[in-house]
Amino acid sequence: MGSFIFLGLAQSQTKLLEDSIQLKPIQVAPHAYFVQGFPEMGSSANQNFISNAGFVVTPKGVVVVDALGSPILAKKLIQAIARITPQKVVAVIVTHYHADHIYGLQEFKKIGAKIYAQGEGRNYLSSDTAQQRLIASRIDFAPWVNASTQLVAADVWIDQRTKLNIGGIEFLVSRVGPAHAPEDLMVYVPSEKVLFAGDLVFRGRIPFVGNADSKGWLVALDEIEKLKPKIIVPGHGAYSTNPSEDIIFTRNYLKYLRESMSKAALNMDPFDEAYRQADWSEYEGMPLFRAANRMNAYNVYLSIQSE
């Protein structure tokens, strides 16, 4: 009898934790929506809900951009979409293969969606980095990422600018990497004047640079501006109704990283000294500054040496 009570309590607690994160789609155009992740590091408490995902409702199905950071979040996104439209999810476009954007892919595969991603993503999927990251995530984000969570390959690998027409709505899918990642894609929906920019644009928090190509990233931001979208849905943060102004934040941050690290990197001076001498006052009050800024600066310091 006692074991049944304990099991019931455990199930109730899990259900309570599961319900603690709610996804609330925000409409940004007549047929376009997104859900906004938290400006924090991924954790079990937030179910790794730290990135955005978008979707567009067409007469022939729903197109989703990115799959979120855990299978439970993807299930919640599918449920949220179902509350808006009876149309099924027919496609998922992956902006890049970083964990917080892809661990939900398997749930979309289960419901028959076709997955699109840039061809360089194959290199990530076959890498030790991807496997080790998943092993660590099964611990760090348990129980939401666990032994049942798998890396999922695309059904269609995109290697050049591609135009998808789904339900009469065009999706312009462009490779803009290497930038934030080697396999960056951005998705522009001309009829909505909405650009899903992935992690090429960050708002309201310090960008994650990681092993990015910061020079290529700056070029990608110029490409975004040429599209002149009315709305940008970034990979992290609130959507933008003033794209040119909001691109400036990501651009200026990347430029400052390069400017503050270039001399030391080229002269082979110690990184610690260059980092101490830089003025981080413009950024140090922002979410994830402590978690990401020093690592970002070090990665740019190293990348400049190899350019």
48 belongs to a structural domain: yes
Secondary structure, 3-state, 33-78: EEECCCCCCCCCCCCCCCCCEEEEEECCEEEEECCCCCHHHHHHHH
pLDDT at 17: 66
Q: 90 pLDDT exceeds 80?
A: yes
Question: For 123-159, what is each residue's pLDDT tens digit?
Answer: 999 999 999 999 999 999 999 999 999 999 999 999 8
Domain count, the chain: 1
298 assigned to some structural domain = no
Over 60: is that where the pLDDT of 12 sits? no
Residue with tokens 């709505």: 169
Give the domain range for residue 33. Answer: 13-241
- CATH code, domain with 200: 3.60.15.10
pLDDT band of residue 160 (cuts 50, 70, 90) is confident
- Cβ proximity of 266 and 248 under 8 Å: no
Over residues 5-9, mean pLDDT? 42
* 289 inside domain: no
CA 26/CA 7 separation, integer angstroms:
37
Please tell me the predicted confidence (pLDDT) of residue 13.
53
Give a yes or no: residue 295 inside a domain. Answer: no
pLDDT over 80 (residue 39): yes
**pLDDT tens-digit series, residues 92-127:** 999 999 999 999 999 999 999 999 999 999 999 999
Higher pLDDT, 179 or 8: 179
- Give the predicted TM-score (pTM) of the model: 0.93
Cα–Cα separations (whole angstroms), residue 48 to 19, 150, 181: 14, 15, 19
- φ and ψ at 158, to 5 degrees? -100, 125
Within a domain: residue 4? no
**Residue 69 — very low, low, confident or very high, per pLDDT cuts 50/70/90?**
very high
Please report the pLDDT score of residue 20 as a whole number.
Answer: 86
- Please report whether residue 252 resides in a domain: no
* Residue 67, domain member (yes or no): yes
Q: What is the mean pLDDT of the chain?
A: 94
Half-sphere exposure of 156 (CA within 13 A, CB side): 13
Residue range 189-204: mean pLDDT, rounded = 97
φ/ψ (deg, to 5) at 169: -105, 130
Q: Is residue 129 part of a domain?
A: yes
pLDDT tens figures, 199-248: 999 999 999 998 899 999 999 999 999 999 999 999 999 999 999 888 99
* Confidence check: pLDDT of 26 > 50: yes
